[in-house]
Chain A
Amino acid sequence: MTAAEKQDAIVERIHALGDCFEQYSYLLLLAGRHPSLPEALRTEKNIVRGCQSLVWVIVRREDGVLRVQADSDTLIIKGVLSLLTEIADGAPCAEIAALPFDLFDRLDLGLVFESTRLTGIRSIWDTIRAAALEG
């Protein structure tokens, strides 16, 4: 599946859920399954600024493919990170660089997508995309 197809699939999956509470519950479920970063990687250097919660993101390039690890101290945001990882981890850098990232414009997840939080989440995506554009 391409990154764009993965994004479409996520939108479809979340739309199929019920109300806002159900959608948050789903993010909590994803957070529970998402691997935590070891303490040693939860460094100041890996913190993404502009988020209300603590968010750590590590992006590497391996033979033209992105490797994304991400974690947060709050579960709902960790759930969101799990979605971003699903799209970007293992994807060819060129695909991520070219992806029109509009996941949050297409979802209606209440507060997660309101102004300040949206800015924070966008800065996480920007971090991932910047790594894809490098080189």
Chain B
Amino acid sequence: MKNEFPLLREDFPILNEPIHGHPLVYLDNAATTQMPRAVARAMGEQLFTANGNVHRGLHTLSLRATSALERARETVRTFLGAETAEEIVFTSGTTASVNRIADAFAAGELGPGDRVIATEMEHHSNFVPWQQACLRSGAEFVTAPVLGNGELDLPRLTALLDGGARLLALTWVSNVTGTVNPVRELIRLAHEKGVPVFLDAAQAMRHFRVDVRELDCDFLAFSGHKLMGPTGIGVLYGKIDWLERLPAVTFGGGMVEHVSPESSRFDKPPLKFEAGTPNYIGAVGLAAAMDYLNGIGLDRIAARERSLIETCEELLRAIPQVHILGSPGERAGALSFVMDGTHPADAALLLDSLGFAVRSGHLCAQPLLRRFGLDAVVRVSPAFYNTPEELEALARALERIITLGKRA
């Protein structure tokens, strides 16, 4: 098939935005992806033709908005391969999804003598909520270590699953090293020991075809804005048995069946976990983004992004002053590095002045950076609309910056 990926750039108007007089080279897709016209159009149409608060309204706009929200839920269900739409909870993003379940575990599942395991490579959003849930409930919070190559220490993780483990918080893909974890194997292992798994798929959604039934994860979370959707919308998938069993932790409108001064009876999932007006415009945008990605082909996107990250690694490895974190067997979407003589913040500023958008800092993964003895790195994360030529240009820009560092 002809490579039409460069043509797709036309779908993303922002890619033509000049930055400091240079063409934009957007390589911060692990933080947020850019939005195609089709998504903005779908959200605009919803706003201008069908905006009304969802559920319980009897007027036409409310009914239109409600059916758009439920259609979006169905699109997400299909995208994830979930059994029923009741397993799809809309949240504001991955962080909210993790907090929702961590709070529910703290309220109903955890106590002294229990243990929650998070890997050392988790983003803070799949780490801190569990740590805090343990502090509140008296459970023990332990981290599963990462090896020098950026992969999980599987024997040590397996050992931690024994004796009192009540949940494993696991990322599919590291937002720092891009390490792809053997999630199917780990979920199987955890289940053998009776431990449920919360899978953070925020960084994985564009790189793999997701099938929650095949994965068999108990929970899965991701954010819309990392797959060409808008910010402020995310998904919490939970197996229906879990969602029925866990207590509601946020309360208000939209999630109750009956309220009296003495007590309240809550809706069934997913509404039980969606207190307040949901971001239905965002949900419409997310569904449009999924349709857009499906239109291109998820496998083709995954292949394109795999090839870009390989090219990126090859180009950066050729620069002696650049040191890439880890060398995992499989890397997806992102890689991070440090440079001799140039602080990551300086590198990011200098790159920005040349039109390159990359991320620098601790990347909300301080435990992992500390594991590597660092407090800041530079991260490059291409998406399918990037080109090998842009990565070439990045390598040349880094060489220019290194020369500058030597002069200073």
Chain A residues with CB under 8 Å of chain B are 19-21, 23-25, 28-29, 31-32, 52-53, 73-77, 110-112
Known: A20-B20, A31-B408. A110 touches B346 (CB 8 A): no
Please list 15 pairs of residues, one from A and one from B, whose beta carbons are closer than 8 Å in the complex, sorted by A's number: A19-B353, A21-B20, A24-B350, A25-B350, A28-B405, A29-B407, A32-B407, A74-B343, A74-B345, A75-B342, A75-B408, A110-B349, A111-B349, A111-B353, A112-B349
Q: Is the interface of B mostly helix, strand, loop or mixed?
A: helix
Whether B345 and A21, one on each chain, are in contact in the complex, defined by CB atoms closer than 8 angstroms, is no
Question: A76 contacts which of B21, B349, B361 (Cβ < 8 Å)?
Answer: B349
Binary flags per residue of B1-29, CB closer than 8 Å to A gives 1, else 0: 00000000000000000001100000000
- Residues of chain A with a CB closer than 8 A to B405's CB: 28, 75
Across the interface, name the chain A residue whose C-beta is closest to B343. Answer: A74
Query: Which 7 pairs of residues, A with B, have the shortest CB-CB distance?
Result: A32-B408, A20-B353, A28-B408, A20-B20, A21-B353, A74-B343, A74-B345
B343-A73 in contact (CB<8A):
yes
State the Cβ distance, B406 to closest chain A Cβ, in Å: 10
- Return chain B residues, CB-CB under 8 Å to A74: 343, 345-346
**In the complex the two chains form, what is the Cα distance from A28 to B342 in whole Å?**
10
Given A20-B353, A76-B345, A112-B349, are A52 and B408 also a contact pair (CB < 8 Å)?
no
Instruction: Say yes or no for B354: interface residue by CB 8 A criterion.
Output: yes
**Which B residues from 327 to 357 make CB contacts under 8 A with A?**
342-343, 345-346, 349-350, 352-354
Report which B residues bind A (CB closer than 8 A): 20-21, 342-343, 345-346, 349-350, 352-354, 361, 404-405, 407-408
Nearest residue, chain B, Cβ from A117: B349
Please give, as numbers and ranges, the residues of chain B lying within 8 Å of A25 by CB-CB distance: 350, 404
Distance in angstroms between the alpha carbons of A37 and B345 in the assembled complex: 20
Considering the chains assembled together, what is the distance between the CA atoms of A21 and B350 in angstroms? Answer: 6
User: Which B residues are in CB contact (< 8 Å) with A110?
Assistant: 20, 349, 352-353
**Inter-subunit contact B404/A19 (CB<8 Å):** no
Q: Which chain B residues border A19 with CB–CB below 8 Å?
A: 20-21, 353
Q: Across the interface, do B20 and A28 meet the contact criterion of CB distance under 8 Å?
A: no
B342 neighbours in A (Cβ, 8 Å): 75
Alpha-carbon separation in the docked complex, A74 to B20 (Å): 21
Taking a contact as CB atoms under 8 Å apart, the answer to whether A28 and B404 are in contact is yes
B345 touches A28 (CB 8 A): no
Which residues on A sit within 8 Å (CB–CB) of B343?
53, 73-75
Q: Which of B20, B21, B361, B408 has the most CB of A within 10 A?
A: B408
Contact of A53 among B20, B345, B352, B404 (CB under 8 A): B345
Q: In the bound complex, what is the Cα–Cα distance between A29 and B405 (angstroms)?
A: 9
- Determine how close the nearest CB of chain B comes to the CB of A115; give it in whole angstroms: 14
Residues of A within 8 A of B361 (CB): 52
A75-B346 in contact (CB<8A): yes
| Residues of chain B with a CB closer than 8 A to A52's CB | 345, 361
Closest to B400 in A: A21
Q: What is the CA–CA distance of A21 and B356 in the complex, to the nearest angstrom?
A: 12
User: Does B407 contact A76, Cβ atoms closer than 8 Å?
Assistant: no
With CB as the reference atom, state the residue of chain B lying closest to A33. B408
Expressed in whole angstroms, the Cα–Cα distance for A76 and B20 within the complex equals 17
Q: How far is the CA of A19 from the CA of B19 in the complex (A)?
A: 11
For B346, what are the chain A residues with a Cβ–Cβ distance below 8 Å? 28, 74-76
Give the residues in chain B near A53, CB-CB below 8 Å.
343, 345
CB distance from A41 to the nearest CB of B (A): 20
Min CB gap B366→A, angstroms: 15
Tell me, in angstroms, the Cα distance from A24 to B342 when the chains sit together: 13
- Residue of A21, A73, A110 with most chain B CB atoms under a 10 A cut-off: A21
Which residues of chain A come closer than 8 Å to B21, judged between CB atoms? 19-20
| CB neighbours of A20 from chain B (8 A) | 20-21, 352-353
List the A side residues contacting B345 at CB < 8 Å.
Answer: 52-53, 74, 76-77
Residues of chain A contacted by B404 (CB below 8 angstroms): 25, 28
